[in-house]
């Protein structure tokens, strides 16, 4: 069964106003799926990041205090964080035993996913922000990624790789850019979602973008 869709399922509990609760999501990721998470910086109503950098390029979508190394699967710590910071974005520390990710600009990603669906490729969860979508993949090493990219004649410069030491924001986070949502949602259940190998995703995405002739500038 494919790990899609999405939008009509309710993976996580909701508040009285209909919005999913970050604490419920964070506990699912950490305690249920063993994905290490931590709270991100909360952006202000104008979309400005709460970190000290006035030129922050990912407002509200990154860790600050605590730092990335504090990411944990401990339910007590997760509950304490989001009880005290209920609107904080949920940040996944990628790599290790957690999924990594391959991200690309939203328009190019939409073209790529359509092509992959037509080709019958199985995908796991896909995280979407207003500007970029991230395809979750199995953990990989930098050596593995380096060999993969070296073997390619061409890799779009708009692709980004979130491996060991990296991070992405997970739904239902609100960042300075806007809502983080599932474009392809994990299916409900107790087990961690299935994710594909990075090789399969990179091969398929590069081929799909090349065939479609999609020009995807770096964002």
The pLDDT tens digits for 19-46 are: 458 899 999 999 999 999 999 998 888 8
Asked if residue 4 is part of any domain, the answer here is no
Does residue 219 fall inside a structural domain?
no
Q: Which domain holds residue 124?
A: 22-212
Among the listed residues 39, 57, 11, 6, the one whose alpha carbon sits nearest the alpha carbon of residue 176: 57
Strand 37-39 with 90-93, pairing = antiparallel
Query: What pLDDT band is residue 188 in, cutting at 50, 70 and 90?
Result: confident
10 Å CB burial of residue 1 (0-12, 13-18, 19+) is: exposed
Unique residue bearing structure tokens 């790529």: 112
In a domain, 201, yes or no: yes
Query: Does 5 reside within a domain?
Result: no
Does the residue 6 lie in any domain? no
Instruction: Give me the number of domains the chain comprises.
Output: 1
When pLDDT is averaged across residues 148-167 and rounded to a whole number, the result is 89
Q: Taking CA 181 as the corner, what is the angle to CA 13 and CA 183, rounded to the nearest 5 degrees?
A: 115
* pLDDT, mean of residues 121-125: 92
Structural domain includes residue 149: yes
pLDDT exceeds 90 at position 213: no
From 51-65, 75-89, 92-106, the region with the lowest mean pLDDT: 51-65
List b or e across 163-175, with b for residues whose CB sees 16 or more CB atoms inside 10 angstroms.
beeebbbbbbbbb
Helices (H), the chain: 22-27, 75-84, 106-118, 142-150, 198-212
15 in a structural domain: no
Which region holds residue 213: left if phi is over 0, alpha if psi is between -120 and 50, else beta?
left
Going by C-beta distance under 8 Å and a sequence separation of 6 or more, which residues neighbour residue 156? 104, 108, 206, 209, 216
Max avg pLDDT among 122-126, 184-188, 215-219: 122-126
Indicate whether 11 pLDDT > 60: no
148, pLDDT greater than 60:
yes
């Amino acid at each position: 069964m494919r790990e899609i869709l999405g939008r009509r399922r309710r993976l996580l509990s909701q508040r009285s106003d209909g919005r999913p609760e970050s604490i419920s999501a964070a506990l699912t990721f950490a305690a249920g799926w063993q994905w290490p998470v931590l709270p991100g910086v909360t952006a202000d109503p104008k979309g400005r990041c709460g970190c000290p950098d006035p030129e922050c390029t990912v407002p509200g979508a990154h860790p600050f205090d605590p730092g990335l190394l504090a990411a944990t699967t401990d339910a007590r710590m997760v509950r304490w964080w989001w009880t005290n910071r209920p609107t904080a974005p949920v940040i996944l520390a990628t790599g290790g035993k957690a999924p990594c990710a391959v991200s690309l600009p939203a328009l190019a990603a939409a073209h790529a996913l359509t092509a992959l669906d037509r080709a019958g490729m199985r995908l796991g969860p896909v995280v979407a922000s207003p500007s970029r979508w991230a395809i979750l993949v199995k953990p990989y090493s930098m050596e593995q990624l380096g060999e993969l990219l070296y073997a390619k004649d061409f890799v779009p410069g708009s692709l980004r790789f979130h491996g060991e030491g990296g991070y992405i924001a997970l739904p239902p986070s609100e960042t300075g850019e806007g809502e983080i949502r599932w474009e392809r949602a994990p299916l409900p259940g107790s087990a961690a979602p299935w994710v594909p190998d990075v090789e399969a995703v990179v091969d398929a995405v590069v081929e799909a973008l090349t065939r479609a002739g999609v020009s995807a500038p770096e964002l």
